[in-house]
Structure 1
Amino acid sequence: MRTLKIAVIGLFIIALNLLAPLQTGHAAVEVKQLYQARVAVTSQATSERNEALRTALTNTLLKVSGDDAVLEHESVQLALQNVRNFVVQYGYQQAADELLLWVQFDQPQIDRVIQQADSGVWSSRRPELLFWVVAEDENLQRQILGGGEDWPVINELRKAAQTRGLPVKLPLLDLNDSMSISVVDLWARFEDRITFASSRYDADGVVVARLYQADSAITSDEWMLDWTLELGGMRWRGEVSAMQPELLGGMLVADVTQQLSQRFRIGTNADMAGTWRIKVNDLSQFMDVLRAEKLLLELPSVNRVQLMQYGEHEAEFELYIQTDPAQIMQAIDLSRTFIPINPERRSEFEMPVYRWSQS
């Protein structure tokens, strides 16, 4: 009888997942308005505007590079002292019950100062991450924090993700989730259960974060959060601490963003400037060729893209680049639009081949 009951529950879980809304596969969301920022202000006074412009530039540099270290560089400090040189346009917007200063910055100048700070530009195509957050309170009671309730740590997570240009999803914590995964599964990081429960959200990567009271022998802060990220077979982990638990939401996003951008941002290297070629298959119509060319041109450190030949649904492109081709390949690999055909054999001496996919 017990075996039958377990089997019925298992079939019920499968049925719930099959009934979940179907979503088309994707990888890497295109983040819009990378070079724009909005900062809350209380008035349109000049002194407050100047301070808000500096905050907007700081946030934009972090969003474009994903690199906290750029803020310490001399070139960035100089830019923050002369912020108006980077502003293309600004204005005020009324949103709900707050006044916002909206700023559009000059993209070439922003990119240039980031390169001068020995960092790089993170492409606008970024992985969308699903965040599972489990919090343990002072009584050692654990709870999954979803996006449907007003949790301060989740609110800070969302705010930081918007500021940093990181696409995020949060679990619904509905009946489907409750039947698919438990607090124990997440706290123990049972990979099979997490993968199963996460599949309905169609995210590119999954973050599992655990929030708990800190050990005084480890840190003077009162709260800690450790996290793991799995993205396309790659794994990262880290931990942050703070005196108030709600602060850990923003710190989590900053830490994850720092790790991701370190791998995927592209720096300019004049010594490596030159041309580099790739092939793309399954381009069934010429409009697909134009779309592929546009996507390649949007990659950082790609100055120009030229179609060299096209026939039998295959195109060969020549890219004029200012960085290591390996960094360009990392950026391309984030998108399922270009599926690598020969990833295990790729080298600097072999032209990479991709399959075009619009799924």
Structure 2
Amino acid sequence: MRFIIAIAAVLISFVTITAQAAPVVGLYQVREVLESQESDVRDAGLQQAFVTLMQRLTGQADAAQAAQLAEYNADPQALISRYGYEGNTLIVNFDPQSVQAALDRTDLPQWGSNRPVVLTWWLVDDLNGQRLLSDGQPSAQSLASAAQYYGVPTRLPLGDLADQMLIGRDALSNSQDIRGSAERYSADAVMLVQQTIDGDALLAQWYLWIGDEEQQGQVSEASQAALEHHVFAQVNQSLAQRFAIMPGQGELLNVRVAGVDLERFVLLERLLEPFAAQLQEVSQDHAQWQVRSTVEQLKTQLALGHLQEQAAPLAQVETYADASAADSSISSAPHESQANSDGARVLYFSW
């Protein structure tokens, strides 16, 4: 068995060279637009970059204020691998290992790089009528930058005839079809933003669907750029509430997944990475990892790879039932999830 696991590890080292397309690119790079390149402005920009990074990784706007991060909040350069400028835009590259070590000393939630892709339908209703901000338009870059700033992988619809027919005059009333567009665009979540004018301000009401779960929020800002940033800041927080993981939280679980080929094996390694998963077993029929997590958190994370929980294989249930019958002290019926000899529950998943 150790030989099989070793072979799998070697194969991963090759596959990940071409299969490393994580949903979030440049998660540890923050771009801050500054007024100048003066040293005091730069130092303030570095501090703001750290604040932004902490929200990206935790979903909490005040994460940088944690007592264990005080020294980095005052001067984050110990966590920075390099920084430079594009015009007056300060580009800060943080060292992932150093940042992770700093976060591990806190009790903050942590959100990894494998994140749900959000298909964003952004509708603007102003004096020019209603229009969709679609992929390829000049406005698309601004939206993409705002989403990247808060670590939200985002796609925009093409805006073709099929898309235009979905939005109509009242897109919210047609939300079921809009939610169904996730399949066309290979997205994990769908967001509808309705932007209007509210006096001298811009108002955005947003709705976010992940499966059947709906979240929503409202933002008012004086400028388009500020509005986009504020929306994605809220979306970052909403998604993190569902996907960020509290280190050490939950119970010991064994995760057994059927139908694992090499490509799926690599995907599972990434999905389970936030749980510090330990590979236990690899066979022709399944692969098994041990994690510490709550069951619901684990299900939510694996749903990103379109996995579903399954009942225990019949052979497993019968074995458990026979053992129960032989031991008069065990009177409970067999459950869908069984326990291994190490005491950890076994949960079964497949595609």
Alpha-carbon spacing, 1:346–1:252, altered in 2? closer, same or farther (3 Å): farther
When normalised by structure 2's length, the TM-score is 0.73
For 1:296 and 1:167, the matched residues in 2 are separated by: 16
Match of 2:10 in 1: none
In the alignment, structure 1 segments of 5+ residues that lack a partner are 1-27
2:132 to 132, 139, 144: 144
Instruction: Quote the offset at 1:165 in angstroms.
Output: 1.5
> Any conservation in 2 of the 1:67–1:262 contact (CA below 8 Å)?
no
Aligned to 1:318: 290
Q: Distance in 2 between matches of 1:114 and 1:244?
A: 37
Residue 48 (structure 2) pairs with residue 55 (structure 1):
yes
- Please, which of 165, 182, 189 is the counterpart of residue 173 of structure 2? 189
Which residue of the partner structure matches residue 208 of structure 1? 192
State how far apart, in whole Å, the 2-side matches of 1:306 and 1:80 are: 36
Count of residues in Structure 1 that have an aligned counterpart in Structure 2: 305
Equivalent of 1:283 in 237, 260, 263: 260
Aligned partners of 2:54 and 2:65: how far apart in 1?
Answer: 12
What secondary structure is seen at the aligned counterpart in 1 of 2:289? strand
Q: 1:297-308, aligned counterparts within 5 Å?
A: 298-299=273-274, 301-302=275-276, 304-307=277-280
TM-score by length of 1: 0.72
Letter in 1 for 2:119: L
CA contact (8 A) 2:83 2:92 kept: yes
| Residues 65 and 73 in structure 2, CA contact (< 8 A), matched pair in contact too | no
How do residues 1-359 of structure 1 correspond to structure 2 at under 5 angstroms? 29-40=22-33, 46-87=39-80, 89-92=81-84, 94=86, 100-110=90-100, 112-113=102-103, 116=106, 118-138=107-127, 141-151=129-139, 155-178=141-164, 180-186=165-171, 188-195=172-179, 199-214=183-198, 222-269=201-248, 272=249, 275-284=252-261, 287=262, 291=266, 294-295=269-270, 298-299=273-274, 301-302=275-276, 304-307=277-280, 309-319=281-291, 321=292, 323-336=293-306, 338-342=307-311, 350-355=345-350
The amino acid that maps onto 2:168 is V
Task: Indicate the SS of the match to 2:288.
Answer: strand
CA RMSD of the aligned region, Å? 3.4
Change (3 A) 1:295 1:342: farther
Query: What is the SS of the residue equivalent to 2:109?
Result: coil
Change (3 A) 1:147 1:352: same
The sequence identity of aligned pairs, in percent, is 22
Asked if structure 2 preserves the Cα contact closer than 8 Å seen for 1:132 and 1:209, the reply is yes
- Unaligned stretches of 5+ in structure 2? 1-20, 313-334
Q: Work out whether residues 56 and 236 of structure 2, in 8 Å CA contact, stay in contact via their aligned partners in 1.
A: no
Give the Å deviation of 1:81: 0.4
Matched position secondary structure for 2:305 = coil
Deviation at 1:161, TM superposition (A): 0.7
SS of 1:124's partner is coil
Paired residue type of 2:259: D
| Distance in structure 1 (CA, Å) of the matches to 2:31 and 2:254 | 39
Report how far residue 125 of structure 1 moved: 0.9
Q: Secondary structure at the match of 1:125?
A: coil
User: Counterparts of 2:43 and 2:187 in 1: how far apart (Å)?
Assistant: 39
Residues 40, 99 of structure 1: 8 Å contact kept: yes
Contact 1:280 1:314 in 2 (8 A): yes
Residue identity in the other structure for 1:68: A
Distance in 1 separating the partners of 2:183 and 2:272: 32
Three-state SS of the structure 2 residue aligned to 1:32 is coil
Query: 1-side partners of 2:76 and 2:203: how far apart?
Result: 35
**Which digits, 9 at most, give the CA deviation of each residue in 1:175-218, with x for residues without a partner?**
3323x3243141x431343245554322221111111233x8xx
Aligned partners of 2:25, 2:238: CA distance in 1, in Å?
Answer: 21
